[in-house]
A and B are shown apart, each in its own frame.
Chain A
């Protein structure tokens, strides 16, 4: 079974998305129903992580996307060479 088959990759993406939505839902429910569940870390400066059901998934998605795009499109364009570059 060749895992680079697009059907396999899209089914993995679908599974990840469904599980993620389930977790976001559970997190949201706990946030609404059980207030002591929440503990933002430094409320006096920023309450960025108060809504953890939004914060953590967003950080995961955006951080990875940003890092991949910056690495491949910017840093890769400048610093990549053929892997025989150092061979004399």
Chain B
């Protein structure tokens, strides 16, 4: 019985790797072995976990608030509903990522990646909000190290911006947690089943009436990459190393999705945020030239699906989130690995500079195409078995909700967005990087470890798509058993009144509650039906046709598209240098004038005659007139240097005095 979070193995390995005990190649091997050990431990937790709690403050020392006098302890091991599937894919991802990074020789990145992956796995096992926050921040530290050690031109700047945004998000999350915990009678314990009927924390968070809930939501959405908050994602991900981006693509956003599932399942606003994210990702990816930035936008697009499904909040929807996250990590990592291999072998990252690589990089091309095909959810790939759960859940909720049009619009947009995947990772990425015009480059395939990592993931992407395999594997570790309404009886003749969700304590039925199809027949979810296969293929072929028809419009140019990071990368710095600093310097100039130039001029005016006489004497002695003048000035006047900092401090003190007057 495992009674410690398996992620701690990776965190311990990252500390070991940080010390100068072993040399570089051994460090990478230690990392890989610890990831395999972690994966085995995760499998061992399937049956159940031992308790693991750390008491920070016992009940004697602690008065209210926080736990109402029961003390404060961290619950580090709890088998939440989505824990098994998320922990499995995170540790599998850590293994493959470390295999891919085996030959990279970046110890800082390795240390950061181990910390990052370990903290992400620990997040999936937490039982209370404070431990969640601790591992959340450890993830931010680890991922910042990965970005900073990117080795690209702009890695350090991107890393600093990344750190600033993530620590801000952590502060907002912490503010929300503390605010919630400080209220009377609130416990910070996380319920293991987000859809269970009497969850005070989940009901509080989903209602989104209190600022504490909003703070927590915004803190989590920053990590999820929501529009306006998530500009850090396409900013930082391309600046990491070829192997660094593989790690980055997996954990932060999916951990945010996990937390959204645990706290905010059923919050309607997430449906709209998810829809906007899905479209936003496509629009920006269409315009993007840098291949890894385009894949970063496609992450936002796919995470939008997951966020929308969390908003739908039924059991099938949450199963869809978990399954889609599982498969998405696999195919996105595969795509990032192929992009990383191209970058590693050619040194180029822009679509305008690449093309025709299929001739020499056969393995990379095949793996890239398999990843692209999996992202499209073509039948016989892993995506086909999982993405449709979300659209089915949306359709089923539309039949029973008070406001069906939200779900109908969500269903429609998700179908359109899954067609439009070919505009970024589905066809655009492999076409522009490996085919399109011949760039003249003939790089070889990357080294064995990078090839093997790609091949293993490619095999898994196809393997999990074969009929029967998802049901035997992925569906067994989903948060709930995936069930859908049977279509044999039809449901057109059931009225609204017969659809009642579980009543809440006050008798109200929330729209996002578990839909009780008690009267309708539920059958185990299956994605394999003739209708689904044919319509999916038709959808994808139509969008492929659209892609090639519009190829002229899709040709890339040496441009970037402005995002919300423009505010802190251009607007604020320009305002500082062009408006604020001159304003700050102006009193300095005035001060300089009063204390230095005015006395000089007075001195010159008053002592002019005496100076002239002395100057005449000096000239007779052979000195320079100006040197003497300056000597005399400096004897009579003293220079007082006052920097801008003094002005700011003085202004702040003045403000403090003024404010305290009221």
Contacts and interface: CB of A to CB of B under 8 A. Distances in A.
Contacts of A70: 283
A46 B408 contact: yes
Contacts of A4: 355, 436-438
Question: By CB atoms of chain B within 10 A, which of A23, A42, A60 has the most?
Answer: A60
A32 interface: no
A27 to B, nearest CB: 5
A1 B359 CA distance: 9
Contacts of B546: 60-61, 64-65, 68
Contacts of A85: 560, 562, 570
Contact of A39 (B408, B423, B531, B550): B531
A63 B287 contact: no
B289 interface: yes
A71 to B, nearest CB: 4
B416 interface: yes
A81 B541 contact: no
A64 B541 contact: no
Interface in A33-83: 36-39, 41-46, 48, 52-53, 55-61, 63-65, 67-72, 75-76, 79-83
B534 A75 contact: no
B559 A81 contact: yes
Given A64-B546, A75-B561, A27 B419 contact: no
A79 B554 CA distance: 16
A3 B542 contact: no
Question: By CB atoms of chain B within 10 A, which of A17, A48, A63, A86 has the most?
Answer: A63
Given A3-B356, A16-B548, A80 B419 contact: no
Interface in A9-43: 9, 12-13, 16-17, 19-20, 23-24, 26-27, 30, 36-39, 41-43
B535 A64 contact: no
B167 interface: no
Given A67-B282, A79-B561, A61 B408 contact: no
A39 B491 CA distance: 10
Interface bin, chain B: 35 or more
Contacts of A1: 359, 438
A61 B542 contact: yes
A23 B437 contact: no
Contact of B541 (A19, A36, A63): A19
Nearest to A48: B412
A39 B436 contact: no
Contacts of A79: 287, 561-563
B542 to A, nearest CB: 3
B303 interface: no
B538 A60 contact: yes
A75 B545 CA distance: 23
A61 B545 contact: yes
Given A37-B530, A45-B404, A61 B543 contact: yes
B411 interface: yes
Given A42-B398, A67-B423, A68-B553, A83 B416 contact: no
Contacts of B547: 64
A60 B492 contact: no
Given A75-B283, A75-B561, A80-B287, A13 B545 contact: yes
Interface string B341-364: 000000000000001100100000
A9 B54 CA distance: 62
A20 B545 contact: yes
B474 to A, nearest CB: 24
A71 B548 CA distance: 16
B415 A59 contact: yes
B222 interface: no
Contacts of A63: 416-417, 419-420, 543
Nearest to B437: A4
Nearest to B350: A83
B550 A42 contact: no
Contact of A83 (B289, B398, B539, B570): B289
Given A60-B546, A81-B560, A69 B553 contact: yes
B435 interface: yes
B551 A9 contact: yes
Contact of B538 (A3, A23, A69, A83): A23
B549 A13 contact: yes
Contacts of A27: 534-535, 538
B546 to A, nearest CB: 4
Given A41-B398, A59-B416, A17 B423 contact: no
Contacts of A12: 548
B404 A42 contact: yes
A68 B542 contact: no
A57 B487 contact: no
A18 B561 CA distance: 36
Interface string B396-438: 1011000011001001100111011011000000010001111
Contact of B553 (A56, A60, A72): A72
Contact of B561 (A23, A43, A56, A76): A76
A64 B423 contact: yes
A63 B268 CA distance: 24
B286 A67 contact: yes
B538 A20 contact: yes
Question: By CB atoms of chain B within 10 A, which of A45, A48, A56 has the most?
Answer: A56
Nearest to A37: B531
A45 B406 CA distance: 12
A61 B544 CA distance: 8
The 4 closest A-B pairs by CB, nearest first: A60-B542, A64-B546, A41-B395, A63-B416
26 contacts: A1-B359, A3-B356, A3-B431, A4-B355, A4-B438, A9-B551, A20-B538, A23-B541, A36-B487, A41-B396, A44-B399, A48-B412, A55-B535, A60-B419, A63-B543, A64-B423, A67-B279, A72-B286, A75-B287, A79-B287, A80-B557, A80-B559, A81-B559, A81-B561, A83-B558, A85-B570
